[in-house]
Amino acid sequence: MIIDWYPGHMKKARQQIIDLMPKIDLFIEVLDARLPVSSANPMLERIRRDKPCVKVLNKNDLADPLVTREWIRYFEQHAGVRALPIEARKRADVSRIINLCRNLVPGRGKPGRSLRVMVVGIPNVGKSTLINTLAGKKIARVGDKPAITTCPQQIDLRNGVLLSDTPGLLWPALDDPIGARRLATSGAIGDNAIDYIGVAQFALEFMLQRYPQAVLTRYKLEQPPETAALGLEQIGRRRGCLLSGGEVDSHRAAEIFLRELRSGVLGRISLETPEDVATSETDETGIV
């Protein structure tokens, strides 16, 4: 599945980030803790270059804690990078970010030498929620749809830190089929750009491989279905998603399953691990 979605405001956002680069000391990159690499824009990594970065693994309450610990080790192997799992609405979590920023750029954050931080991330990873929690008031618009923030703004936190908020930025074409499906599963891609049934079947197949008991328990299934398509049909029948004649409304069943998966009803789920990423890179390059 190739998702080619790059509206005009995304091009503008990319240029805004590039223009701000000379005035930035450090990046805070907001990632979805359930899929930290798939929710990271490689374009942002190239723009950042060697400037320090705090990788914020947001929605930590929805992610598998064992896998999250693996991701922290993975990211902190890189020079100038620290990783921190958080829930963006919790002030206690968010306050730790500022301490990490000060440690990474010790010469800044003092009178006359503000620590200039850019907050970046793809749409719908919780960037605006994080900004509001850091500021202690509603600064950025928050919603459950992508592309809520549409223009850059600077926020003075009154503690020696200046934040630059930018619109969520996707890359021009999501041509990694697995990464694209993971993003669609998480809700980072707008509903009008995805095939609900196809994404739900992908997500259900993943769940049956990694977290089968969560599916069996939630939907009261006696045994794992042989295929994701059959599983989606069984979920639809359990939830009463029936058309005339008793046929399952697959689209409604897909909506229910994805909504429950995204909200954490099925438990704390991670959609990728560092091992998955290493395997994917090996497959692409042919290097073993």
pLDDT digits (tens, 9 = 90+) for 162-208: 998 776 665 555 567 888 899 999 988 877 778 999 999 999 999 99
3, pLDDT greater than 70: no
Res 23: pLDDT: 86
Distance CA 179, CA 38 (A): 5
Of the ranges 112-116, 139-143, 234-238, which one carries the lowest mean pLDDT score? 139-143
- The three-point CA angle 85-73-185 to 5° equals 55
25, pLDDT greater than 80: yes
In the chain, % of residues over pLDDT 90:
55
Res 288: pLDDT: 31
Residue showing tokens 């046929």: 247
What's the pLDDT band for 277 if we cut at 50, 70, 90? confident
For residue 205 the two structure tokens come to 């197949």
Q: Coil, helix or strand for 161?
A: strand
Q: Coil, helix or strand for 18?
A: helix
105, pLDDT greater than 80: yes
Res 96: pLDDT: 93
Mean pLDDT across the stretch 121-128? 86
Res 122: pLDDT: 83
Res 159: pLDDT: 87
Enumerate residues 6+ apart whose C-beta is below 8 A from 51: 24, 25, 26, 27, 80
259, pLDDT greater than 90: yes
Distance CA 252, CA 150 (A): 31
Report pTM. Answer: 0.85
Of the ranges 63-77, 145-159, 192-206, which one carries the lowest mean pLDDT score? 145-159
Distance CA 156, CA 47 (A): 23
Mean pLDDT across the stretch 256-280? 93
Four-residue CA torsion sign, 13, 14, 19, 20: positive
**H, E, C per residue of 195-250:** CHHHHHHHHHHHHHHHCHHHHHHHHCCCCCCCCHHHHHHHHHHHCCCECCCCCECH
Render the burial of 155-177: b for 16+ CB within 10 Å, e for the rest: bebeebbbbbbbbbbbbeebebe
Q: In terms of C-beta density within 10 A (0-12 exposed, 13-18 middle, 19 or more buried), how is residue 270 classed?
A: buried
All structural domains of the chain, each given as residue ranges with its CATH number in brackets, are 3-165 (3.40.50.300), 195-285 (1.10.1580.10)
Residue showing tokens 């599945």: 1
